[in-house]
Structure 1
Amino acid sequence: MEELSLVQLQQDMSDKMAFHRQIATNPLSDSFMLPPTRQVVATESVSGQSLAFGEMLRGVLDTVDLYQSHASEKVTAVELGKSDDLIGATIAAQKAQLSFSALMQVRNKMVSNFEDIIKMPI
């Protein structure tokens, strides 16, 4: 009986590590409540990897947009007097601002890297 609980404890720790790895790889994702369902396989083809990158980028953009619209709805509700959750609206606005700022930093880094590649001699 104790061996079964040890195996279950090891499995729980493994699940928690996978959960935290998922958060570390994509902190803007709203899927934190769900355990990771898809792991990237190292043997995928180049086209599969570019598709996965495109899907990941689209997911990040959608998440930032979701944060922006959620914050806008909360702030509008507070301004119109429909809600008295000023703290929640402030937190949502800060979360939207932070996610947008992080997105712009990633975008600027990608543009900079692209410009560096263009400037490379052939």
Structure 2
Amino acid sequence: MANEFAGLIKADLAALNNAASELAQHATIIAPAAQFNAPQQGATFSFAQTMQDAVAGVNAQDVNAGQKMADVDAGRSDDLVGAMLASQEASLSFQMLMQVRNKVMGAVDELIKLPL
């Protein structure tokens, strides 16, 4: 199940990257760089990398929760509360990631609708 979610999220991330590339190609007005907060010296921001890190973090939480549940099921651990908490944390993280994805996809759709 985690692999299915990861696949869906990766597909959505690819769609976001494609839409961002499309917008960049159609951009006609470029704001001066001085208007933006410049990143710290040597530091760069990549939305795609940030999303990939978020997906990897959520996936790691899901794998950890699955391992804890498997340990409890197999009798290797008696920490049922810890396993349930890890499962809930993974679930909440996934829900939050999906909400961020939905907001970003909505914003990209709105940007695409803007007249050039």
Give the aligned partner of residue 33 of structure 2. Answer: none
| Counterparts of 1:50 and 1:77, CA distance in 2 | 39
2:38 to 43, 56, 63: 43
Q: Percent identity?
A: 36
Give the aligned partner of residue 95 of structure 1. Answer: 89
Alignment of 1:1-122 (within 5 A): 42-44=37-39, 49-51=44-46, 53-122=47-116
- Higher RCO, Cα 8 Å, sep 6+: 2
Structure number with greater Rg is 1
TM-score by length of 1: 0.58
Query: Runs of 4+ in structure 1 displaced over 3 angstroms?
Result: none
The answer for unaligned runs of 5 or more in structure 2 is 1-36
Cα-Cα RMSD: 1.9
| Counterparts of 2:71 and 2:80, CA distance in 1 | 9
- TM-superposed CA distance for 1:43, in Å, is 2.3
| Counterparts of 2:78 and 2:98, CA distance in 1 | 31
- TM-superposed CA distance for 1:93, in Å, is 0.1
| Counterparts of 2:107 and 2:83, CA distance in 1 | 36
| Counterparts of 1:82 and 1:105, CA distance in 2 | 35
Q: Write the deviation string for residues 42-94 of structure 1: whole angstroms up to 9, x where unpaired.
A: 424xxx7453x333222211111110000000011111111111000000000
Give the aligned partner of residue 30 of structure 2. Answer: none
